[in-house]
Structure 1
Amino acid sequence: MKLKNIFLKTKDEIYTHQKIINISLVLFILILILVYSFVKINYSVNFKDLFNYTPKIIQGIFTTIIISIFSLIISLLIGIFLTVLRNSKFLPFVYFSKIYVLFIRNTPLLVQIFLFFYILGTAFNIENRYILAPFILSIFSGAYISEILRSGLKSIDNRQIETSISLGFNKFQTLIYIIIPQLIRIVIPPLSGQFISLIKDSSLLSVISVSEITKTVEEINSLNFRVIENYLILALIYLILTIPIYYLSRYLEKRFSFGYRD
């Protein structure tokens, strides 16, 4: 048993070392390409001016995070609501869900931002763009979350539900003990991907003058005229915001997988 544990430990260590080496190699190649590109266009990189706007950048990051979190919560509620409607036996509810998803998924987010902000926002007298922004993103993201949940439900074998009923489970118990645990395991990866997309899509809110991180960087561009450096930092900020979500989803996926051992 000890020999087996030592073997597994050694195997894991070898895999970890190989992973570090490969990641380092890829990063080195990417940096090399970037440096070569700057040399080729004869561009001198200077990040010093950007440090003068650190408080402004932090405020932009904070705004992006807050909008993304509220958008995620609201879009989850919208997605669940649409999934319930889609599985309803009342046909108007079913077709409402289908038309909603069809419209949202087949029109650009940028167009939807303009439509919802200038038409619905004006119609309902919502003048605060920071209140309206999470709802606009949620309306968009909710359609995708609805499809994720619907496909997750369809992937659960009906025989499991029939077996639970034959064992005496009621509908609520079947939902809690059979459907939801499997659904969580199935939908965590695509949901995390949708949340990452939500953070990136928040950059389009700059068109309605929401001062999230992209709008902040655009304002800094007009002050220091270091466009390349500013957008490089912007890309790095989005990586810092999204990569932890990716690894968290991987961890949760393992936790909810059958046979997982801590």
Structure 2
Amino acid sequence: MKNKILNYLAALSIYGLLALLIVYMYPSRDNFNLGNIFKYHEIIINGFFTTILVSVFALIFSVVFGFLLYLLTTSKVMFLKIMGSIFDDIVFGSPLVVFVGVIFYFIAVPLGMNNRLIAGIIALSLYMAPYMKNLFVGAMESIDDLQYQAMKVFGFTTFQKYRYIIFPQLLKIMLPPLVGNLTFIVKGSSLLYFISVDELYSTIDTAMANTYAVVEGYLTLFVLYLFITIPLIRATRYMERRISNGNQNRESEPLI
């Protein structure tokens, strides 16, 4: 453990020296002043928490939409299956920024939804739905046929199957990639800037426009996004290791 910490510190030191070298090589380093950006700390803090708010709600709704999409694509009704498949193709074939623009300007606005924050959350949620659907597909396939046969023998209803058997296992299997998708949502939320949602990127862009402190602004943006995403990335890796170790322990247990 001690050796691992020392290696981490050594690696961080290398990155720190590299950052100092970049600052030293910056042509206008004498004019470098983070204070120009920090004058706008109030709106930046608001943008920071707006990004977190958008990301959390988009994650929740994308899981719901993803499950509904899973039901469509696995339906025995051909029409519903085709509807789900077409939606998959639309999302996988569209850049996120284009998808957000289409949802807002061609669907939300004509329907009278002028709240850009809500429209942005819905757009992100819909865009992530096929990715969440794929998590459900992979997780459901990991549940072996013997369990389904046992549920049938004991006369479980559909609700009981999902409530007591399927969902508890799905949660364990899906949690690491779910947190990974949250990281993608956090980064993707910056594109809500294009529909004028005051998230983190938008607020720092405002500060840069008013102060011309472009380098300072992007550096601040870089650090704040990493402040959100790195813990999520580390949490994902930790959960993957725990699940992997748990599976290995179960496999090593004697059958009798």
Does residue 25 of structure 1 match 2:10? yes
* The one of 24, 36, 43 aligned to 2:21: 36
Percent identity over the alignment is 33
Where does residue 3 of structure 1 map in the other structure? Answer: none
Spell out the pairing of 1:7-86 with structure 2 (5 A cutoff).
Answer: 16-44=1-29, 45-86=32-73
Q: Which amino acid aligns with 1:88?
A: S
Spell out the pairing of 1:88-107 with structure 2 (5 A cutoff).
Answer: 88-107=75-94
The answer on whether the counterparts of 1:68 and 1:199 sit within 8 Å (CA) in structure 2 is yes
Does residue 199 of structure 1 match 2:186? yes
Residues matched between the structures, number: 245
The answer on whether the counterparts of 1:85 and 1:93 sit within 8 Å (CA) in structure 2 is yes
The offset of 1:193, in angstroms, is 0.7
Where does residue 149 of structure 1 map in the other structure? Answer: 136
- CA distance in structure 1 between the partners assigned to 2:46 and 2:155 by the alignment: 55
Larger RCO: 1 or 2 (CA < 8 Å, sep 6+) = 2
Q: Deviations over 1:125-157 (max 9, x none)?
A: 212212211111111011211111112112222
- CA distance in structure 1 between the partners assigned to 2:80 and 2:162 by the alignment: 21
Deviates more, 1:39-48 or 1:57-66: 39-48
- CA distance in structure 2 between the partners assigned to 1:240 and 1:57 by the alignment: 14
Where does residue 253 of structure 2 map in the other structure? Answer: none
Unaligned runs of 5+ in 1: 1-15
Distance 1:235 1:171, change over 3 A: same
Relative to the length of structure 2, the TM-score reads 0.87
Unaligned runs of 5+ in 2: 251-256
RMSD after superposition: 2.3
The answer on whether the counterparts of 1:105 and 1:144 sit within 8 Å (CA) in structure 2 is no
Relative to the length of structure 1, the TM-score reads 0.85
- CA distance in structure 2 between the partners assigned to 1:187 and 1:214 by the alignment: 29
Where does residue 162 of structure 2 map in the other structure? Answer: 175
